Amino acid sequence: MSIEFLDPTHEDARGDFALAPRLETLSGAVVAVVSNGKKGTIPFFDAFERELVETYRVAEVVRMTKGNYSTPVEPELLDEASRWNALVAGIGD
Amino acid sequence: MTHRHTLSSKRYCLDDISAVQEWFHSRQWSDGLPVVPPTEALVGDCLEWALLAPDHLIGVEPVRTRLITAEKVAINAVMAGCLPMHFPVVVAAITAMLQDPFVLHGATASTGGCAVLIVVNGPVRRELGMDATFNALGPGDRASTAIGRAIRLVLYNLLDVRPGQVDRSTLGHPGKLSYCLAEDEENTPWLPLAEERNVPEHASAVTVMAAGAPRQIMNEWTTDPTALLDTFVAEMKACMRHYSIWPGNYAIVVPPQLRAHFDAAGWSKADIRNYVFEHARVRRSEWAECGKGAVVGDKGEREHAALPSPEHLLVIAAGGPAGGFGAVIPPWFGRTSQAVTLAIGACVDCEV
C-alpha cells in the first residue's frame, strides 16, 4: 500500500540572502571588515587588510568588532555603511 | 465530520514504509532515527487538537526571518513520534525559543554545541503521562522523548540546523536528540519552576534553556543542605574552570533523596538559589591550574560568579526515589542566551 506524506522542510525558495552586487574594482574603495571578536580574527584580518591595501589599492579599511560572537552585528556599527563600497564579515576560532 | 483546513506542504507518495524511511534519511530530513510518515491525517490531527490553522504563524526566526507555521511544526512533531496531545507543548517550546532573549540562531549554530533543554510544568505533565522520576534525564516516557525530538527536527527542517550546515557544533551532546523532562511537582513542597518564573499557579508551561550536557554529582554522606549544595557548587566551579567562566543560567536537578534533606531543614528553592549565587565563584587565576594560564593575563584576582543573579539558577525537582545524586546543567555560553518560560497556549504578542 502506498504512503502519501508531507514535506517537512521550509520550502522557502527565495533563499535566505541575496548576493550583494560585485564591485568592478577595489581600487580606491572603502571596505569594512566585521570580526566576530574571537582572537583568531586579529592576525587573519591584519593580513587581509594588508592584502587589500597593498595588492588591491583599497583606499580605506574600516575595522570593527561585534559585541558578542554569537549575535548579529549591532545596528549602530552599521551607521556609516552608506559610505562603504563593500563589507566583509568573518569569524575566527 | 469536522472540517479540515487544506494543508499546503508539498506531497510525496512512495510504495512502502522502507522507501519512506530512505527518502527522509537520504535528504537529511531526519536525525538518524526512523520517522513516522507525516501523513495529512496525522498532521491534521495535531492542528485540530491545538485549534491552530495550518498557516498560523508561530513565530519568525529573527536572524534569517524564516516564518515558522503551525503546519510545518506539526509535520515535524508527527515525524518525531508526537501524538496530537503532545503538539501544544511543542508549539509552546518553539514559541519560547523564538523570543529574542533565547538567541536562537547563535544557540543552535554555535561551535559550543548546546541542546535545547525543555522543562515542563503544570497539569499537562500528568495528562501526557510524563514521568519526572526514574531516569528523569534519560529516555523514559513517550511524551518527553517525542517532544524533545520534535524540537530537533523542527531545527533541522525549518531552520537547516543540521550538522555541518547551520549547526557548526564541534562535539554537540546526546541531549541534542531529545532533552525534555517534567518537574516532579507532586513530591515536593517547592514551587514549580514555571510558577517561580511568573506563570500563574496551575497553568501548564515550558521553560527552554540553551544547555550543555548534564554533569552528575553524588553526595549521600550528609544531611546538611549547605554541604549538599557545596557539591553542586563544586561542579559548577569545575565547569567554569574547564569550560566557560562566563555567568548565565545554570540548572540543577535535585532528586528526592537529596530533596528530603532540604525539606527537613526548611530550605526553599529561593534559599538554594541564594546559597549557590554566593558560593559558585572562581578567580580567574584558577584557569592557570587547568591549562588556561595563557588567558589569565593581569586579571588573576578578578572574581567570576557562575550566576549573574540568584534568579539565574533554575532549580528542578526530578529523579528517581533512591540515590544521592543530582545534576548540574550548564549554560551554552554565559548570558548570551537567556532561559525563557512560557505558558502553554499563551499568546506572546496579543494586546491585553
Q: Predicted ipTM? A: 0.93
- B contacts of A2 (beta carbons < 8 Å): 13-16
Which residues in chain B have Cβ-Cβ distances shorter than 8 Å to A37?
none
Instruction: Show which residues on chain B lie within 8 Å of chain A, measured between beta carbons.
Output: 7, 9-17, 20, 24, 29, 37-40, 43, 63-64, 66-67, 72, 75-76, 79, 103, 105-107, 109-111, 153, 157-160, 333, 336-337
Q: Please tell me the predicted confidence (pLDDT) of residue B2.
A: 54
User: Distance from A72 to chain B by nearest Cα, in Å?
Assistant: 7
The pLDDT of residue B350 is 72
Q: What is the pLDDT of residue B108?
A: 96
Residue B63 confidence (pLDDT) above 90: no
Q: How confident is residue B319, by pLDDT bands cut at 50, 70 and 90?
A: very high
> Chain B: nearest CA to A91, how far in angstroms?
11
Residues in Cβ contact with B165 at an 8 Å cutoff, skipping those fewer than 6 apart? none
* pLDDT by 10s per residue, chain A, length 93: 899 999 999 997 666 667 888 899 999 999 999 998 888 889 999 999 999 999 999 999 999 998 888 888 888 888 888 899 999 987 777
Q: Flag if A8 and B38 touch (Cβ within 8 Å).
A: yes
Q: Among A1, A8, A69, select the one facing B79 at the smallest CB separation.
A: A8
Q: What is the pLDDT of residue B75?
A: 98
Taking contacts as CB-CB distances below 8 angstroms, the residues of chain A near B64 are: 16-17
The mean per-residue pLDDT over the stretch B329-345 comes to 95
CA angle in degrees (0–180, nearest 5) for B293-B298-B299: 85
Is A75 within 8 Å of chain B by CB? no
- Residue A68 has a pLDDT of 86
| A45 three-class SS | helix
The answer to whether the Cβ–Cβ distance between A8 and B40 falls below 8 Å is no
pLDDT given for residue B106 in this prediction: 94
Check residue B3 and give its pLDDT: 64
Question: What are the pLDDT digits (tens) for B188-221?
Answer: 999 999 999 999 999 999 999 999 999 999 999 9
pLDDT of B83: 98
The pLDDT assigned to B148 comes to 98
> Tens digits of per-residue pLDDT, B4-24?
789 999 999 999 999 999 999
**Residue B293 pLDDT greater than 50, yes or no:** yes
Comparing A78-92, B107-121, B258-272, which segment has the lowest mean pLDDT? A78-92
- Closest approach of chain B CAs to the CA of A16, in angstroms? 6
A14 touching chain B per CB within 8 A: no
> Residue A91: exposed, middle, or buried by beta-carbon count in 10 A (0-12, 13-18, 19+)?
middle
| Chain A nearest-CA residue for B42 | A5
Q: How far is A7 from chain B (nearest CA, A)?
A: 5
Q: What pLDDT shows up at residue B310? A: 98
Distance from C-alpha of B351 to C-alpha of A79, rounded to nearest angstrom: 32
Average pLDDT over every residue of B26-40:
98
- Whether B75 sits inside 8 A of A68 (CB atoms) is no
pLDDT of residue B204: 98
- Residue whose C-alpha cell is 532561559: B339
Backbone dihedral angles phi then psi of residue B188, each to the nearest 5 degrees: -155, 145
Distance (Å, rounded) from C-alpha A16 to C-alpha B238? 40
| B352 has pLDDT over 60 | no
Mean of the per-residue pLDDT values of chain B = 96
Per-residue pLDDT band at B1 (split at 50, 70, 90): very low
pLDDT digits (tens, 9 = 90+) for B229-241: 999 999 999 999 9
